[in-house]
């Protein structure tokens, strides 16, 4: 377990390098990956207490120490076939979206450090359509590793844990606002949810990009006419995990640019925790929010736009 902590420390020392560390694991001999930043620890599988009326892929709960953890049977989720439990199975304990969840896997193979530029978005025929569970395909050494979209898995199993548009309704009646907002988000599902939420909050001028590279190319194109930047990009919302260029690298580029640096940047990610807060501050993010907090996101947008006028 110490290697995970050491790797996370190393990541913190190198901010905005557009690199990611992938933990490789197997299910039925197939190689998959998860961002090390999501992993708390790896433990041997243990007895799980079943929970009635839960999703078919939820094994139940167990309490290894002081935290009660939901256990997701990842082999079952991926294949829709009840998996044979093996005493040598492992639990990958994760933390994202302010949730602690254990995922059953068969083996853990190691950790590879690669550039986000080496991760490709899978073709729709491979990923299972627009909302597939594969968020990227990474070349790790000689192997191709399927990076799973763990946020989507959890959102499907427990919809109440993801973005809730009802939070916007609690903000009351709001005026239509055409202020241009740039969104860098690779998940089609989350882009749709963010779009609908902001539209309901009155923000109707959303410019969407699939990754940090596309957003950066658009922002760079605005520099030819610096006087029009505010009319084209008054605020940036970015995820962290994205193929080609991650949100930390995008934020660092914006905040290091003499023409673009005054554009407020909000990092809106499932990875926001004390460690990632440090990285976000190092690259100059104005605010950092965890993804379920859509109502708070709107409030922060309101505040930053008033402050930047």
Give the up-direction half-sphere exposure of residue 83: CA atoms within 13 A in the CB hemisphere.
23
pLDDT > 70: percent of the chain: 92
pLDDT the model gives residue 267:
97
Instruction: List, for residues 6-15, the tens digit of each pLDDT value.
Output: 444 444 346 6
What phi and psi, each to the nearest 5 degrees, are found at residue 31? -95, 125
Residue 252 three-state SS: helix
Q: Which two tokens stand for residue 35?
A: 């961002």
CA 124 vs CA 95, 116, 188: distances in Å: 28, 20, 12
Which pLDDT score, from 0 to 100, does residue 6 have? 43
CB within 8 A of 94, min separation 6: which ones? 34, 38, 39, 40, 100, 101, 102, 103, 150
Question: Can you tell me the distance from the alpha carbon of 130 to that of 146, in angstroms, rounded to the nearest whole number?
Answer: 16
- Residue carrying the six token digits 């899978």: 122
CA distance linking residue 291 with residue 145, whole number of Å: 25
pLDDT at 131: 54
Q: What is the pLDDT of residue 158?
A: 86
Cα dihedral across residues 136, 182, 222, 306: positive or negative = negative
Stated pTM of the model: 0.85
Would you mind telling me the total number of residues written for the chain in this entry? Answer: 309
CATH among 3.90.1150.10, 3.20.20.70, 3.40.50.2300, 2.40.50.180 for 2-159: 2.40.50.180
User: Domains of the chain: which residue ranges?
Assistant: 2-159, 163-307
Is CATH 3.40.50.2300 the right assignment for the domain spanning 163-307? yes
Q: What is the pLDDT of residue 133?
A: 84
3-state SS assignment for residue 95: strand
The answer to whether the beta carbons of residues 254 and 282 sit under 8 Å apart is: no
Position 165 scores a pLDDT of: 81
For 39-65, write each residue's pLDDT tens digit.
999 999 999 999 998 999 999 999 988
Low-confidence ranges of the chain (pLDDT < 50): 1-3, 5-13, 125-130
């Amino acid at each position: 377990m110490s290697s995970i902590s050491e790797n996370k420390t190393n990541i913190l020392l190198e901010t905005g390098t557009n690199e990611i560390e992938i933990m490789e694991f197997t299910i039925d001999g197939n190689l998959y990956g998860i961002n090390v930043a999501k992993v708390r620890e790896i433990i041997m599988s243990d007895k799980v207490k079943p929970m009635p009326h839960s999703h078919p892929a939820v094994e139940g709960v167990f309490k290894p120490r002081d935290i009660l953890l939901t256990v997701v049977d990842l082999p079952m989720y991926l294949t829709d076939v009840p998996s044979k439990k093996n005493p040598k199975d492992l639990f990958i304990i994760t933390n994202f979206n302010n949730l602690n969840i254990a995922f059953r896997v068969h083996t853990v193979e190691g950790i590879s450090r690669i550039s986000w530029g080496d991760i490709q978005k899978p073709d729709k025929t491979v990923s299972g359509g627009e909302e597939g569970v594969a968020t990227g395909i990474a070349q790790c050494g000689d192997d191709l590793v399927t990076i799973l979209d763990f946020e989507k898995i959890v959102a499907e199993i427990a919809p109440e844990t993801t973005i809730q548009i009802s939070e916007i309704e609690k903000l009351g009646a709001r005026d239509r606002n055409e202020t241009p907002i740039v969104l860098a988000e690779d998940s089609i599902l989350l882009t749709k949810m963010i779009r609908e939420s902001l539209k309901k909050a009155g923000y109707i001028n959303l410019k969407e990009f699939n990754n940090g590279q596309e957003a950066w190319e658009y922002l760079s194109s605005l520099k030819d006419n610096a006087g029009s930047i505010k009319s084209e990009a008054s605020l940036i919302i970015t995820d962290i995990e994205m193929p080609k260029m991650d949100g930390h690298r995008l934020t660092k580029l914006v905040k290091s640019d003499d023409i673009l640096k005054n554009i407020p940047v909000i990092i809106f990610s499932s990875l926001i925790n004390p460690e990632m807060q440090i990285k976000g501050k190092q690259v100059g993010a104005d605010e950092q929010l965890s993804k379920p907090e859509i109502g708070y996101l709107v409030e922060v947008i309101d505040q930053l736009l008033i402050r930047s006028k």
